[in-house]
Amino acid sequence: MAITPDTKDWTWVLERPCPECGFDTQGFAVEAVPGMIMANTAAWQAALDGASDARARPEPSKWSPLEYACHVRDVFRLYDQRLELMLSQDDPLFPNWDQDETAVTDRYGEQDPGEVAAELRQAAFAIAGRFEGVTGDQWQRTGARSDGARFTVETFARYFVHDPVHHLYDVTGQRAVR
Ligand SMILES: [Zn+2]
């Protein structure tokens, strides 16, 4: 069975805690984001190592741990590019990304779990490092998604970091403690 494309607009997570994973995007200082990315990444390494079969979908319409990990790796890479754009250009428009199409064309389910774990870690280091370098007024720089959603670097950081946390919950069933 195919995965149902996720066309939901998730920007509401900036307004209220996520009822599914429990994460509150307003519940921390934005400077904590790099550390949160690295903690999340460590949990992914454990989730991929510990999975008896990282390739197995728990049900036909739900991604396997491996597929979620591929998605999170690509989210880290994509958001690092978007962050770079916001820091280097005035009010950029982000190129569109179809996450479900990427999952199919890049054959997420056939990738090697060990390689994906390493790539996820590398991508996490890159974006955590870029957020680490954001200072002062840079947090108020702006950018926009192709669907019209607008962000500052700060709201972008809070919105972004929910994604890997939420997907870790999808895989482990453990709600965010924050
Ligand atoms: Zn969530």
Residue 103 pLDDT level (bands cut at 50, 70, 90): confident
pTM above 0.95, yes or no: no
| Residues paired with residue 151 on neighbouring β-strands, in sequence order | 143
Cα 172 to ligand 1 centre (Å): 13
pLDDT above 60 for 1: no
Cα 75 to ligand 1 centre (Å): 15
Mean model confidence pLDDT for the chain: 92
Candidates 25, 145, 127; CA nearest to 84 is: 127
Q: Which structure tokens are listed for 176?
A: 């965010």
pLDDT above 70 for 170: yes
pLDDT above 80 for 60: yes
Cα 27 to ligand 1 centre (Å): 13
Query: What is d(CA 165, CA 154) in angstroms, rounded to the nearest whole number?
Result: 17
Average pLDDT estimate for 106-113: 92
Query: What is d(CA 27, CA 21) in angstroms, rounded to the nearest whole number?
Result: 14
Q: Check residues 109 and 52 and name the one with the higher pLDDT.
A: 109
Residues ≥6 apart with Cβ < 8 Å to 23: 13, 17, 162, 165, 166, 169, 176, 178
Cα 69 to ligand 1 centre (Å): 16
Cα 15 to ligand 1 centre (Å): 12
* Secondary-structure breakdown of the chain: helix, strand, coil percentages, each rounded to the nearest 5: 60, 5, 40
Average pLDDT estimate for 73-99: 95
Average pLDDT estimate for 99-116: 91
Q: Check residues 53 and 81 and name the one with the higher pLDDT.
A: 81
Cα 165 to ligand 1 centre (Å): 7
Residues ≥6 apart with Cβ < 8 Å to 154: 30, 139, 140
Cα 122 to ligand 1 centre (Å): 23
Cα 21 to ligand 1 centre (Å): 4
Cα 167 to ligand 1 centre (Å): 8
